[in-house]
Amino acid sequence: MHDFILRNATICDGTGADARPGDVALSGDRIAAIEPPGKLGRSAAAGAREIDATGLVAAPGFVDVHTHYDCQLFWDPTASPSPWHGVTSVVMGNCGFTIAPCRPEDRETVMRLLLYVEGMPIETLRAGIPWEWETFPEYLDALEGRGVGPNVAAFVGLSAVRFAAMGAAALERAALPEEIARMQGIVREALRAGAIGWSTSLSPTHFFGDGTPAPTRFAADEELLALAQVARDEGARPIELAPKSLLGPPDEKLAELDLFERLARISGGLVSFAPLHDNPFFPGSARTILDAARDLQARGAKVVPQVGCRPLELRFDFLGPCFGLENNSFWRPLLHETADRRREVFASESFRAKLRGTSSGWKALLTPSWEKMFLRVPVERHRRFADANVATIARELGRDPVDAFLDTVLEGDLADQWGVEVLNSNEDAVGDLLSDDGALLALSDAGAHVDTLCDQGYTTYLLGHWVRERGAVRLEDAVRMLSARPAEAYGLQDRGVLAPGKMADVVLFDPRTVRQRPTEVVSDLPGGQRRLMQRAEGIPWVFVNGEPVVEEGEPTGKRAGRVLRGGRA
């Protein structure tokens, strides 16, 4: 007896093969059968639910390999809004930042690290993390005991590992030989308990509020190479990292690939670094790095960058901490001033002249054009400018762009929310990266930067914008990018492909209407904190392990997912 039969669907099986009409039967947690239309027969009388999928695409559940849901799953087991966008499996613990292992005396430090590095409000973390564990195995048990909406695969993060092995010295220096051995033991324990691999960060943008670097930035290459050996010993597990040359020129990035190659050759597995975006200040650099990574792949080193398919838009206002501007030397001094002092500075001619005329002007605004800065969530008096860019606002007001921007900020009493396209604005360059199988499509950062970035809808953006609107990506290739390709790269067994016997992670979407809706601001985090929210359109059904987590377009709240220990169900 089947539990669900999806009738008259257009089947994109995740392999890249041409779409074909057919019916899909789900029984328990598996795909029972895929047949041409009408071949399955009628079994509603036996209890199966029949879904008319005419006009809909049936695809494997999407796999998001770059999330930070490590904390959110404890107050929101459904991992909203990712499943609404067709995501049925998430990989979390990226960039070295996890909440396990963690001794009681390190909890506050770990939370403050997440506050400054991943933009998670400290009030939310204190209210929402139950801290029922110290070790990584205990953490996975806690997740499993509570239940999860999507399937979850987790890296163990080296910031937490360094705290566990070194204590306060993790924030001071490289590890001693005996501490490296201790770290190897902690990572080995985590991998054997079900961690998919380990992750770390070398990025200069990752630091505490006082400027102290994240623990992983003190790690010497010897530490990482020793831990790569553990990854090999435990089955060539993947390694993920944020590179040191995050926003730098291409020669810095190329030099760093040498370390990534060494890690890949020692571990024997995937080394994936994130992000690789088109950078307007170094045009063509992303292509150069991807070509170099492709060369390493051809020579047997699995060094694979993660790329995004949509502009990286940074949201900010000037009322609060402005996490998105914390890494910018032009704005950072103002972020720790009072609101009154900010108003005073923004009104001054000296500040305006500095912003208008200094050589750092455009980089201070993180974008090379006023046309890439938008008023996203205006106060009532500025509602007429909703989604307008600063260049347009300046023309309508008859003012210089700097005056128009700062006058609007002051008139809105610092409360208008702005969005600036920092990276990936050149669609020709982005399309070139997307077309290359040497990269992985990812970078939602879901669960992090909660009021600054919102890219959970990259899956629906790919299908709506790149496939339907631009016609630049073939539908079958897009589905493969979102399913089989990441599942295979990260070793998620029996997922990513629609075929009998595979896990019943299935998405039904309407290719004519699928899209992400405009980003909203909601205040639903523990402690009443706010986050950006992105809803989906054109995805009526999402199944995780054979259970609907989205039904007729509405989330069901079911905890149908599994902790994929080592990538296995």
Instruction: Kindly give the confidence (pLDDT) of every residue in the chain, 569 residues in length, as a single tens digit, with 9 standing for 90 and above.
Output: 799 999 999 999 999 999 999 999 999 999 999 999 988 876 544 568 999 999 999 999 999 999 999 999 999 999 999 999 999 999 999 999 999 999 999 999 999 999 999 999 999 999 999 999 999 999 999 999 999 999 999 999 999 999 999 999 999 999 999 999 999 999 999 999 999 999 999 999 899 988 899 999 999 999 999 999 999 999 999 999 999 987 778 888 899 999 999 999 999 999 999 999 998 888 999 999 999 999 999 999 999 999 999 999 999 999 877 766 777 778 888 888 899 999 999 999 999 988 887 544 566 777 778 999 999 999 999 999 999 999 999 999 999 999 999 999 999 999 999 999 989 999 999 999 999 999 999 999 999 999 999 999 999 999 999 999 999 999 999 999 999 999 999 999 999 999 999 999 999 999 999 999 999 999 999 999 999 999 999 999 999 999 999 999 999 999 999 999 999 87
d(CA 390, CA 142): 47
pLDDT at position 334: 85
Contacts of 25 (CB under 8 A, 6+ apart): 2, 4, 5, 6, 31, 32, 33, 34, 35, 40, 48
- Give the domain ranges of the chain: 62-311+426-490, 319-423
Q: What is the pLDDT of residue 212?
A: 95
pLDDT at 371: 92
Q: How far apart are the two ends of the chain, measured CA to CA in Å?
A: 23
Burial class (CB in 10 A: 0-12, 13-18, 19+), 282: middle
- Copy the structure tokens of residue 414: 């610092």
Give the global pTM.
0.95
Q: Domain spanning 62-311+426-490 has what CATH number? A: 3.20.20.140
**What is the length of the chain?**
569
**Would you state the pLDDT for residue 332?**
82
pLDDT score for 44: 47
Cβ contacts of 52 within 8 Å, gap of 6 or more: 7, 8
Beta bridge partners of 92: 154
Q: Name the helix (H) or strand (E) containing 430.
A: helix 427-434
DSSP 237-298: --EEEE-TTSSS-HHHHHHHHHHHHHHHHHH-S-EEE------TTSTTHHHHHHHHHHHHHH
Contact yes or no for 181/118 (Cβ under 8 A): no
**How do residues 464-522 score in pLDDT, each as one tens digit?**
999 999 999 999 999 999 999 999 999 999 999 999 999 999 999 999 999 999 999 99
Q: Are strands 197-201 and 239-242 parallel, antiparallel or unpaired?
A: parallel
In terms of Cα–Cα distance, which of 453, 449, 509, 519 is closest to 479? 509
Q: What is the pLDDT of residues 158-209, one digit of tens each?
A: 999 999 999 999 999 999 999 999 999 999 999 999 999 999 999 998 999 8
